[in-house]
């Protein structure tokens, strides 16, 4: 399929490039670094080769979210957003941007998201999971009251927020000791992003701000499989949950899911059944997944051509208000 749009695609600055010891194969870490630091060369060539018209780029994880000092987080977010805006400006027909935000300072995050959307022309926000602040052992989730003004500002700007994974903190990761293959994308990413997503939905945030739209990758970080049971058990014991609707209702009204790094027909069809085809969008997760694998799978997935175009292109155009 030609004209595909992708939206979980990552770049890095030298300042945000993180440890790659979990990629031990010869040359793997160097290749990953080269691809993360590049936008207009390798990445664009592969987009051309595999029928991708537009790629919405976001700062690599954990990016700004792991910077302990708020002032430095603000400075690095501004730098990353300026760099991305400069790259997008070179090929606005092929690239768009997600804003990186200094969530360690919610007031500064409001200023930065407003600048990114209104001045830099970005089409949304990317948050790389929970944030740390002051102490490396902190976990700040965005359902907390201090973030409500920021969410109100994002709703007013009318742009989606991509909630992207980050790894579990070492102090919280005893279950992974001796089993490093389940850290990061093997399992831990999904666990962290799933509970953060559910916290946001359960907090009443989307009742207060019903126009907000959240995007979650990897076909929902395994939540769709358990949506019925989550709602079932909460209905038996709500324990004062602030949310006025079920998790399933929020998924069908306020959440969008991408195929990033989850290239499997049966999982795709199950997800469509649970949340609706208008809530599913194609993505790759470049460069942690290959453009070839993601695009070839999608182009040959068991879908009608109308459904392929809707997932591969039309849903993104509608969600991000793209002029394509």
Q: Among all residues, which ones are annotated catalytic?
A: 285
Per-residue CA distances from 68 to 64, 74, 96 (Å): 9, 11, 28
Other beta carbons within 10 Å of 152: 14
N residues, the chain? 324
Please answer whether residues 289 and 262 qualify as being in contact, where contact means their C-beta atoms are separated by less than 8 angstroms.
no
DSSP percent split of the chain into helix, strand, coil, nearest 5? 50, 15, 35
**Residue 271: both structure tokens together:** 């997800």
Other beta carbons within 10 Å of 119: 10
Which one, of 187, 189, 191, 171, lies nearest residue 179 by Cα?
Answer: 187
Residues 6+ apart with CB under 8 A from 43: 9, 35, 55, 286, 287
Please answer whether residues 257 and 224 qualify as being in contact, where contact means their C-beta atoms are separated by less than 8 angstroms.
yes
**Residue 147: both structure tokens together:** 């973030």
Other beta carbons within 10 Å of 69: 13
Please answer whether residues 91 and 40 qualify as being in contact, where contact means their C-beta atoms are separated by less than 8 angstroms.
yes
Phi and psi at 163, nearest 5°, equal: -95, 105
**Residue 12: both structure tokens together:** 């890095």
- The gap from C-alpha 51 to its chain's centroid, in whole angstroms, comes to 22
């Amino acid at each position: 399929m030609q004209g595909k749009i992708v939206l979980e695609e990552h770049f890095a600055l030298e300042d945000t490039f993180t440890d790659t010891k979990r990629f031990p194969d010869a040359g793997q870490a160097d290749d990953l670094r080269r691809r993360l630091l590049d936008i207009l060369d390798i990445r664009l060539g592969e987009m051309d080769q595999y029928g991708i018209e537009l790629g919405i780029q976001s700062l690599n994880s954990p990016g700004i979210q792991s910077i302990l000092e708020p002032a430095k987080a603000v400075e690095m977010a501004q730098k990353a957003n300026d760099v991305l805006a400069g790259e997008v400006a070179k090929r606005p027909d092929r690239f768009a941007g997600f804003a990186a935000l200094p969530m360690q300072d919610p007031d500064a995050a409001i200023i930065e998201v407003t600048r990114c959307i209104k001045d830099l022309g970005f089409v949304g926000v990317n948050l790389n999971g929970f944030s740390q602040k002051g102490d490396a052992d902190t976990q700040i989730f965005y359902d907390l009251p201090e973030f409500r003004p920021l969410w109100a500002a994002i709703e007013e700007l009318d742009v989606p927020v991509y909630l992207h994974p980050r790894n579990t903190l070492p102090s919280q990761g005893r279950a992974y000791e001796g089993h490093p293959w389940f850290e990061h994308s093997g399992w831990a990413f999904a666990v962290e992003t799933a509970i953060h997503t559910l916290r946001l939905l359960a907090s009443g945030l989307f009742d207060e701000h019903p126009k907000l739209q959240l995007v979650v990758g990897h076909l929902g970080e395994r939540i769709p499989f358990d949506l019925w049971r989550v709602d079932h058990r909460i209905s038996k014991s709500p324990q004062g949950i602030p949310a006025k609707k079920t998790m399933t209702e929020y998924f069908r009204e306020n959440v969008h899911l991408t195929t990033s790094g989850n290239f499997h027909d049966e999982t795709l069809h199950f997800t469509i059944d649970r949340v609706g085809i208008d809530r599913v969008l194609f993505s790759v997760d470049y460069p942690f997944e290959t453009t070839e694998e993601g695009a070839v799978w999608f182009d040959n997935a068991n879908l009608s051509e109308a459904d392929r175009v809707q997932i591969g292109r039309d849903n993104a155009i509608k969600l991000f208000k793209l002029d394509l």
